[in-house]
Structure 1
Amino acid sequence: MAFNSTILLIEDNLIDQLVTKQLLKKVLDINQVFIANNGLEGLQWIIKNKKAKQKLVILLDIQMPIMNGFEFLDIFQTLNTEIQDETQIYVVSSTLDSDEIEQIRKNEFVEDFLNKPIPVEELKKQFLNSFLF
């Protein structure tokens, strides 16, 4: 089986970027992960690089400077439906704020909420169930 999606990590913390990239490589043999340092960079990457019929998986942090994850999700809902339909968003955050977690879980574009550090088995399960073809 081959992984048939593009990965975009929207995360401002350099250590979390490195750890997540290594985790994806080790657990799922994914070598190419695109990185955006905040929600604005993530939106710019999508607009510039997203190709039609290309599955996109976004791992989205919530607390970031310039544009946080909630602001990203607000603007994401205004993008065309083709982009929305071909994108799966997983929020990856260390938040313990129950209001934030509820807001994340209620968002129609968020597939799931994963706590940092990303639990390896949960990540593997999510990706194997959803993205291998």
Structure 2
Amino acid sequence: MELNPLFLLIEDNLIDQLVTKQLLKKILSIEQVTIANNGKEGIQWLNNNNIRNKQPLIILLDIQMPIMNGFEFLKEFHKLNKKTKKRVQIYVLSSTLDSDEIRQIEENKYVTDFLNKPFPIEELKNKLLLYEKLL
């Protein structure tokens, strides 16, 4: 990708972390994926890196996690400065079938899209290419 976005995977499951990271590397040629084990670590990473990183950021966000889940992360994300939020796309990765959770995800203004697990790498690739064309 020409934009060379940063990737932040917020996921507590070690197997999902490994599989997602390998798929991003193999299919999208993404060399570096930062991993946060829960929403709290994700917010901390954003707070620590938002000044020096001006490039686009793709967040892959799990919903069910200990310490701070995906919905709590989205509430904290809302509090971040506009400059940080403007360069971020959030893709929720979840295997939920709960209609209330799906509705919450779809109605959240910060969520770019909802992707079902297992991780649909080709679907994400197509969405990112479309986004790149819009810029």
Distance 1:102 1:5, change over 3 A: same
Cα pair 1:11 1:64 within 8 Å, conserved: yes
**2-structure distance, mates of 1:23, 1:3:** 19
After superposition, residues 5-24 of structure 1 pair within 5 angstroms as 5-24=5-24
Residue deviations 1:60-102 (CA, integer Å, cap 9, x gap) = 0000000000000001001100011111100001111011001
Gap regions ≥5 residues in structure 2: none
CA distance change for structure 1 residues 75 and 55 in 2, over 3 Å: closer, same or farther? same
Alignment RMSD: 1.5
TM-score normalised to structure 2 length? 0.93
- Uncovered stretches (5+) of structure 1, i.e. residues with no partner: none
Amino acid at match of 2:21: K
Is 1:6–1:55's contact at 8 Å kept on the other side of the alignment?
yes
Q: Distance in 2 between matches of 1:36 and 1:129?
A: 26
Q: Name whichever of 119-128 and 14-23 sits farther off.
A: 119-128
* Structure 2 residue aligned with 1:94: 95
Q: C-alpha distance in 2, partners of 1:129/1:22?
A: 22
Residue identity (%):
65
**14-23 or 48-57, which deviates more:** 48-57
Offset, 1:119 = 1.6
- Aligned pairs, how many? 133
Within 5 Å, which residues of 2 pair with 1:46-65?
A: 46-50=46-50, 51-65=52-66
Shift of 1:59: 0.3
TM-score (norm 1): 0.94
